[in-house]
Amino acid sequence: MHNQNFIYFTGSLTGKLLRYRVVKRLILTSLVSIILFCQGFSQQDPLISHYMLNTLTYNPGVAGTSGLICATAINRQQWLGFRGAPSTTLFNINSPVKLFGINSGVGLVLQSDNIGFDKDISASLAYSYLTDLGQGKLGIGISAGIMNKTLDPDWYIPSGDIHTPPSGDPLIPETKESVVTFDAGLGLYYTTDKYYAAISVTHINQPKFKFSKGLPYLSRHFYMTAGYTLQLPNPSFEVLPSVFSYSDGKVIQFNVTSLVRYNKKVWGGVSYRVGDALTGILGLELFNGIKLGYAYDFPLSDIRRNTSGSHEFVVNYCFDIGLGKSQMKYKSIRFL
């Protein structure tokens, strides 16, 4: 990686100390990038604070369960201030359909996720079988698609015998490479007028990427989410608590969120990602039915010393099959 501010000082203790600090930072940054390509590395799916509007990305069972056609676009800029910081753009759309007389749902998920010199682009289709269960609806879903992982390394190695160049390491990539692989997932999603609950697994086939150096793979990720609509004494106000957790089998991440919604048009609240960040969330529905949301993550870990935080923007629109916006159908609190 290039560091244009890397300055060599000689002949003074101050210069040596400054050089040591810069080299240390460079090494730490490089290690973070290398970790992305090692087998068995930890959580690999991008973080999204608006998880309640992004369920289709990690759970195909949600497709069609709202009874509406719903489209969502999300852009997240994480850890601003870091070179090569994570940047994610998502788009998904789903709709209920009848296939051969069977109540079903279909969906499409497009995702671009960049971090360091790793650029991932994925596209997947989702199908869910829908059935009435108790007072709600159950979606049993499967997703299948492709992921293109591109590595475009740009290393900066300080001179000296103590520094190993990429050519001397069997696991460090040297040139730009791009690999496409198959990816699949499964999910169950249950929703009623008052609550929802879901479990799913992504990368169930643990797709591998055959690069010239190393053979990284995507670990299976397990997701669980649930939420509830609590009506307050004032009928104009509702509280929307929800939880969200995921794990790669080694590390577990847990989120808890509480939103207050006014007249189904304006909402705000906070989310806590255990050990990582405190998030403020705001949103509103425009007169044309388009919902806009914003989230700001304030980091709680030591990384806050080097970043101003993370920003996330979301646009959501749901409409009925007749191509007219539904004013009264709020089947799930996922759709704020």
Segments forming the whole domain that contains residue 3: 1-35
Instruction: Print pLDDT tens along the chain (336 aa).
Output: 333 333 333 333 333 333 334 333 433 443 334 333 333 334 578 989 999 999 999 999 999 999 999 999 999 999 988 888 899 999 999 999 999 999 999 999 999 999 988 899 999 999 999 999 999 999 999 999 999 999 888 777 777 777 777 777 777 777 889 999 999 999 999 999 999 999 999 999 999 988 887 788 889 999 999 999 999 999 999 999 999 999 988 889 999 999 999 999 999 999 999 989 999 999 999 988 899 999 999 999 888 888 889 999 999 999 986 644 544 444 454 545
Q: Are residues 193 and 81 in the same domain?
A: yes
Number of domains, the chain? 2
Q: Are residues 24 and 172 in the same domain?
A: no
Q: Are residues 5 and 84 in the same domain?
A: no
| Whole-prediction pTM | 0.80
Q: What is the 3-state secondary structure (H, E, C) of the chain?
A: CCCCCCCCCCCCHHHHHHHHHHHHHHHHHHHHHHHCCCCCCCCCCCCCCCHHHCHHHHCHHHCCCCCCEEEEEEEEECCCCCCCCCEEEEEEEEEEEEECCEEEEEEEEEEEEEECCEEEEEEEEEEEEEEEECCEEEEEEEEEEEEEEEECCCCCCCCCCCCCCHHHCCCCCCCCEEEEEEEEEEEEEEECCCEEEEEEEECCCCCECCCCCCCCECCCEEEEEEEECEECCCCCEEEEEEEEEEECCCCEEEEEEEEEEECCCEEEEEEEECCCEEEEEEEEECCCCCEEEEEEEEECCHHHHHCCCEEEEEEEEEECCCCCCCCCCCCCCCCC
Residue 117 lies in a domain: yes
Residue 325 lies in a domain: no
CB neighbour list of residue 110: distance below 8 Å, 6 or more residues apart: 90, 91, 92, 122, 123
Q: Are residues 30 and 41 in the same domain?
A: no
Q: Are residues 86 and 192 in the same domain?
A: yes
